[in-house]
Structure 1
Amino acid sequence: MSGNVIVYEAESLFLDTFYATDGDNASGGQLIRLGGCDYSGTASTSFNEASGLYQVTLWIQDEFDGQSTVEVVVNGAVVGTITLDQDDDGWGSNNGGFSSFTLDDILINQGDTLELRGYRDGNEFIRIDKLEFVKTGDIGGGSSQPTAGTETLMTETFDGRNYGDLSNSANVESSDFYRANNSAVTNGNHDGTMTFRSIDLSGYTNAKLTLDAKVIRGGFEQWGTQYGDMVRIELVDQDGNVTVLDQFTGTGNALTGSVTGQVIDKGGFDGLTYDLPAGMSSFQLRIVSDISARCEKIAFDNVTITADPDAGSGGGNPPPGPVTITLDAVDDAYSIGETEGIAANILVNDTTDAPGGMTVTDVNALGAANAGVGAVGQAFTVTTAGGRTGTVTIDAQGNLTFDGGTNFVDLNNGQTDSFQLQYTVRAAAQDQPKHNLLFVLDISNSTVNGNNTQQDTFVGTGVGDVNGDGLSDTVLDAQIAGVIAAVQNLIAQGADPAKIDIGIVTFSGKASGYTNIDAETLGTFALDDAALINTLTGITRGGWTNYEAGLQQARDWFASQQGDGAINKMYFLSDGRPAIGWANGQYIYQDSSDYGDEVAAIANTYGAEIHAIGVGANSDLAYLNDLDNTNGAEQVLDTTSLTAMLEATTDIIVEDTATITVTINGEGQLLTVDALDDAFS
């Protein structure tokens, strides 16, 4: 359907900062514009026509001397953005002409508030003549308002003093950003973090975040390079766990979210929407920026959090699955002339979805002549297959240089020489996935064997009396030492302590009627918590080997960690069968029917990767295989193997390696001499 043209003169709207002035070519003889000192303004009115779908046309002067933008807003929601970049109307004059800009299928209900938001660029003062509306379709009632029952928990519009800090914004707890044109702006001089007040989700489900964002001025460079730029939107829950909703990176005038693919670009505000993870009782929203240049600017506005009241059904969304990242380092090959060098970036064809990108953490030259050669960020000499040398540097951002000087000029045309390098790239510590690592340790009497004066020394490299019980190099000592080594290995690799929770459960079982279980959760620790080591070295032996008791504690520990978006891993260590007593001349053993439900909950409900490890020759893999879901339980027979296994299986750092091959091609001419026979008569 198509209706009559309805005209709203711009000068008839309610004006804020815009002002009306005469214009020779303006409809009705007047237009609105910004003043010489003004950089933004609004013009608004109530829509008095019938509800429906409308084609909306704005008549605006599009000048040569700027690329200003105008947003069309219905009830606070941006429904269209116009960028004045066609430069069709000269240098700008109140008596100049106007260009038309049309938006199709705009839903407007009678009584809705219409608003034009103008953002000046350069000397383009946004001269607006009129708005035209043509109805193109009917709607079956309703409105563009939020779903009935949804409540708004926070709205921040950054209204206030036009330029300055955000200290008087009711919902902003702290900010490195600044206020401009009633929005929060970040640039190279004002980057960092904007933290909003805590939001209590008690009694609510289906929380959502919406916000507007736009690029005021671009020129961005790829994140992970020296002058890279990034904006990250994240949540911090009641336990301090961080969930990244999106990280925006890119080049030029647009940034793209690595999680959702949403875009922030130049022009009008782009509306961003996120469904917030379930399982949080409260959280704080943070917007984090790392902008390299003062002239690169991004603005945020209309930050809103909504949620549905919980009807008390006990339902709600399931807890989020693990937040993981991927990284793929790809081999590189360079072919150069005998006097040419290399200046390139080896990361350009490597990929990752890690919000913070990746960096080079290790470099080494391959080949027997290059043993031990290579360092990140330092020049080193590499020896080629042909015995020649050149100088190489590779920095953390992947910038590669090679200079062979004149060392290859002896190569003739068709001859080559070459060398290879290997490099490792790693996601930043703060972007590594969250992990919950639970160690379930068998402390039955057999782990020290006998009494306080008799022991069974576990073979391999001695670890000493780790727990101070007066007995050295026992199975229990080896278990404790192995866990400590795994923790220290993670610290040495630069793992972020905030991204790793470590749980310790011990189990044994006292023989009171052969059924009394005995297991204990000793705590949850950060990676660098001194109490973790103290707790481990304080573990002493118990009685029987009650698998079920330990697995019940393990299940409950993972339940306490539920909802933090972590990758769950369990390490179940035992030196024997699950004996819980003695009767009628024989041991009483548990089997999978006793602890199968605990194993199923750990593996399925909480998605844990279960490593079952038999410690010593008396361990029984038949029982441990009932637990393991990683291709079968493994048995270790000495302390060195146990430590190596724990270090390897807890190596959770996301990194990858690739090879660089450099081929130098000869360009010289091979001279030949041919002596011919002579004859004289």
Structure 2
Amino acid sequence: MVKIQAENFENRNIFEIEDNNEAEGGSLIRIPDEFGPNPSSGSATTTFNLPTGNYEVRLGYLDESDGQSPINITIGNTDLPTLTLDNDGDSFVNEQISSTVFINNGDEITINGTRDRQEYARIDFIEFIPLDENLIAVDDTATTQQNTEVNIDVLENDTDLDGNSTLTIVTDANNGTAVVDDNGTAGDFSDDSVIYTPEDGFSGPDSFTYELSNGLTTQTATVDIDVTGVDENSLIAVDDTTTTEENTAVTIDVLQNDTDIDGNGTVTILNDPSNGTAVVDDNGTAEDFTDDSVIYTPDNGFSGADSFTYELSNGLLTKTATVDIDVTAAVDENSLIAVDDTATTEENTAVTIDVLQNDTDVDGNGTVTILNDASNGTAVVDDNGTAEDSTDDSVIYTPEDGFSGADSFTYELSN
């Protein structure tokens, strides 16, 4: 409640200030004696500077023993019921003038009083008691997903007749944070809201309490939030392997063995390869993440093992996986050459053929394998007793018993 002392009314006509020890502020206003016994009237005016809303209005006055002095109060365009001071003895009174009246901030308050004999229309104060209906805070509910903040318009179901009430978090959430957002308009409280952010990984019920205050009345309400959990299996990133040759880029479909139920997971390179570069390729469809891949390019001249790590995220979950790349050395076709051979043997006589003597094997690790056997005999690789050393291998050809004529076989040399 707020009282305006009558002596503080800015504009007074006829009314004068009188000291009185029984008055709340130590003084009051009255119609003076100078007009004699005849009735005389005065007025006092001030401005209503409280929040717009519904108020009970009361008047504090000194009701004296003689005469009948009418008091009329006008607030804005509303005339309140007339009060007549006609007590038989001196008495200070606090009386209800109106149980409810709607008043706008800035409305003019005018008290008109008329003196009747020794009833001097002594006014002590006018009192305004805000009604609860001016400001009502209603509980709210909201839903959000795990690891996802939500903006809650807590005011949309509240009542604030003045529209200038401030919003304050009274009790914070147990499993997150609630912060008032002024929507970029610091002086305008009507568009304020609350941003609730759950703690990382939390799911379940949570709540906080806010306070709505217009400077006269304070209301509180509770906001219940349901934070729904996220299925960890809805997004899975699986490690990948691939092979490429020296100085040759390779496109890796990293998503082909991953799981993304919603199909909105974005791929980001988390740790670059040590011996090359890895770049996400959107396949020309920037908004469609399902066909994204990664292009790996080895450093010039590099061969060997390399790797990088990528991140798959759908805004709720984030998973990581590693891609291992085997970069093979470039092959010099002239480093391994197999040349046709000829040999002669007699009927029923095996012959050892040094097939490697006219071949080229720069690395010296080429292995000999019979690809197509002889039609009229057998061809068998002989490791010359050195199984780990292929440089001295040869082929033993044995013709079939009693065969004579031309025969052939094919061998393969591979490193």
Query: Does the TM-score normalized on the shorter chain lie above 0.5?
Result: no
Q: TM-score, with normalisation over the residues of structure 2?
A: 0.30
Query: Who wins on radius of gyration, i.e. which is larger?
Result: 2
Q: TM-score, with normalisation over the residues of structure 1?
A: 0.19
